[in-house]
Structure 1
Amino acid sequence: MTTQPNNPLHGVKLADIVTQLEAHYGWDGLAEQIDINCFKNDPSIKSTLKFLRKTPWARDKVEQLFLYTFSNQNPWNTKP
């Protein structure tokens, strides 16, 4: 297995990203942050993962929100 020192998402599963974001923002909050229907119309982890795996631009937005929300460099991050 090769290491990817410049990839902050290396080893993080998409399911974990979506689960943590949903726990932090809720579905309504995610829909406000990223305007995609999988967060608005009958959202679930399973349907969201299916959509994100088929839609690279949406996955990029979700990954960027995850990095922004849970990054140590974010001044609004309250995690120690």
Structure 2
Amino acid sequence: MYPPQPNNPLHGQTLESIVLYLVDFYGFEKLGTMIRIKCFNEDPNVSSSLKFLRKTPWARKKVEDLYVESIST
């Protein structure tokens, strides 16, 4: 078991839960304007977004940064 990480807002969050939160909070249309990646703009769905984000570290970082920003406001 890993020790608690109180200063890490991503600790315990799966990529799927992060994407679902952002889609619920912003919607795919707004996400597509905030983070310019194809999986949010062309035929968006959670499954294809997860596949792309798992393979693309720079895009995943942008999504994680937006999540941290959105939960801290």
TM-score by length of 2: 0.92
1:69 aligns with 2:70: yes
Equivalent-residue separation in structure 1 for 2:70 and 2:8 (angstroms): 16
Letter in 2 for 1:54: K
Tell me the residue number matched to 1:38. 39
Corresponding letter in the other structure for 1:64: D
Offset of 1:34 from its aligned partner?
Answer: 0.4
Tell me which amino acid in the other structure corresponds to 1:3: P
* Structure number with higher relative contact order (C-alpha < 8 Å, ≥ 6 residues apart): 2
Q: Which residue of 2 aligns with 1:77?
A: none
Residue in 1 aligned with 2:3? 3
| Corresponding residue for residue 15 of structure 2 | 14
Letter in 2 for 1:2: Y
Report deviation, 1:4: 4.8
The secondary structure found in structure 1 opposite 2:27 is helix
Larger Rg: 1
Runs of 4+ in 1 over 3 A off after TM superposition: none
Superposition CA RMSD, Å: 1.0
CA distance in 2, matches of 1:3, 1:56: 25
Count of paired positions: 72
Q: Which runs of 5+ in 1 are unaligned?
A: 75-80
Identity, % of aligned positions: 51
TM-score (norm 1): 0.84
